[in-house]
């Protein structure tokens, strides 16, 4: 019985190759790196990329990386729409996902106190997320391109009057103190990250219960409703449906969908049934539903 249990645990655990590092968007200490550590472990080597386009390019190169971690949506800001297009044009596959609880923290050099601070540096979105806390003080708010880079700059300049808003990982990497933890206004803030691998190396695990797909219809009357009915009739949960304009068309749309199923046969049934209702279908990946982890 114990032996069978161990076999099941091994079968349920995704196995990812990580010999050449994982591409992330942003700098070391970013939330992308936090997500990468949750998937690959703390010793994972990350390859910082300035843009998501660079991330896709490096992840697609077998000589440059073992894949990538890419943010795709946030519980407050919504979907990162350009990333869907980047994913569609690539030959990368989704092999896993993770939901990271985003915690913004006020970081300072050791010994710096609240009364010493004159300015706070961070990405505009991070500043916006923490305005309720920041407006308690008469600090100058300095917008930068990245939260982790802000933390690095505060560290490098050894400033006694500047603070940064960033992750606890950034504090760890740049020897900063967390003067005030979790200062974001909305505490339930999650970002969903996709784990991407090249198509030839992606392996579908036995515990897979979710799939991300893209489809286009012929836009005849009621056709989308028919597709959604097929999905529902198969007992599949449509956990996400995102419309995107089809480039070059006159306000016609394609649809990105996340499908959650109990049996692999359910997905096969749906994919076969919607073939006649769609002009094209692409499967981005078949993988196991991700869990929420702390940032």
* Catalytically annotated residues: 191, 193
Cα 279 to Cα 234, 274, 275, distances in angstroms: 21, 10, 8
How, if at all, do strands 162-166 and 190-198 pair?
unpaired
User: Do residues 235 and 261 lie in contact, with contact meaning Cβ atoms separated by under 8 Å?
Assistant: yes
Give dist(CA 184, CA 125) in Å, integer.
Answer: 11
Please give the structure tokens belonging to residue 246: 């089809």
CA–CA separation, 61 and 161 (whole Å): 43
Cβ atoms within 10 Å, residue 126? 25
Size (the chain), residues: 295
Give the residue from 190, 187, 171 showing the smallest Cα distance to 179.
Answer: 171
Instruction: Output DSSP code: residue 288.
Output: P
**Strand boundaries in the chain, DSSP class E:** 22-25, 46-49, 68-74, 78-79, 92-101, 105-108, 119-122, 140-143, 162-166, 177-180, 190-198, 210-217, 237-245, 253-260, 278-287, 292-294
Q: Which residue has the tokens 């050894």?
A: 158
**Residue for token pair 């005849």:** 220
CA 138/CA 151 separation, integer angstroms: 20
């Amino acid at each position: 019985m114990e032996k069978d249990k161990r076999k099941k645990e091994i079968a349920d655990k995704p196995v990812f190759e990580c010999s050449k590092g994982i591409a992330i968007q942003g700098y070391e200490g970013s939330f992308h790196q936090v997500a990468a550590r949750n998937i690959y472990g703390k010793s994972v080597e990350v390859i910082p990329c300035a843009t998501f386009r660079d991330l896709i390019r490096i992840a697609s190169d077998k000589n440059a990386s073992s894949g990538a971690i890419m943010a795709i949506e946030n519980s407050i800001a919504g979907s990162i729409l350009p990333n869907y297009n980047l994913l569609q044009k690539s030959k990368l596959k989704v092999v896993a996902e993770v939901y990271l609880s985003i915690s913004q923290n006020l970081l300072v050099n050791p010994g710096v106190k609240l009364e010493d601070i004159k300015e706070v540096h961070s990405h505009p979105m991070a500043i916006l997320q923490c305005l309720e806390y920041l407006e308690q003080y008469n600090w100058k708010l300095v917008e930068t391109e990245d939260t982790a880079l802000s933390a690095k700059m505060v560290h490098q300049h050894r400033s006694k009057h500047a603070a940064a808003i960033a992750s606890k990982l950034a504090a760890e990497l740049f020897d900063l103190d967390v003067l005030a933890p979790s200062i974001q206004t909305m505490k339930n803030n999650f970002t969903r990250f996709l784990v991407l691998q090249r198509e030839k190396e992606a392996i579908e695990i036995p515990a897979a219960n979710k799939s991300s797909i893209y489809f286009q219809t012929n836009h005849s009357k009621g056709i989308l409703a028919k597709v959604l009915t097929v999905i529902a009739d198969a007992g599949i949960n449509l956990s996400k449906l995102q419309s995107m304009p089809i480039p070059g068309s006159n306000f016609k749309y394609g649809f990105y969908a996340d499908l959650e199923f109990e049996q692999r046969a359910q997905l096969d049934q749906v994919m076969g049934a919607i073939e006649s209702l769609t002009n094209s279908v692409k499967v981005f990946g078949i993988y196991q539903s991700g869990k929420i982890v702390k940032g």
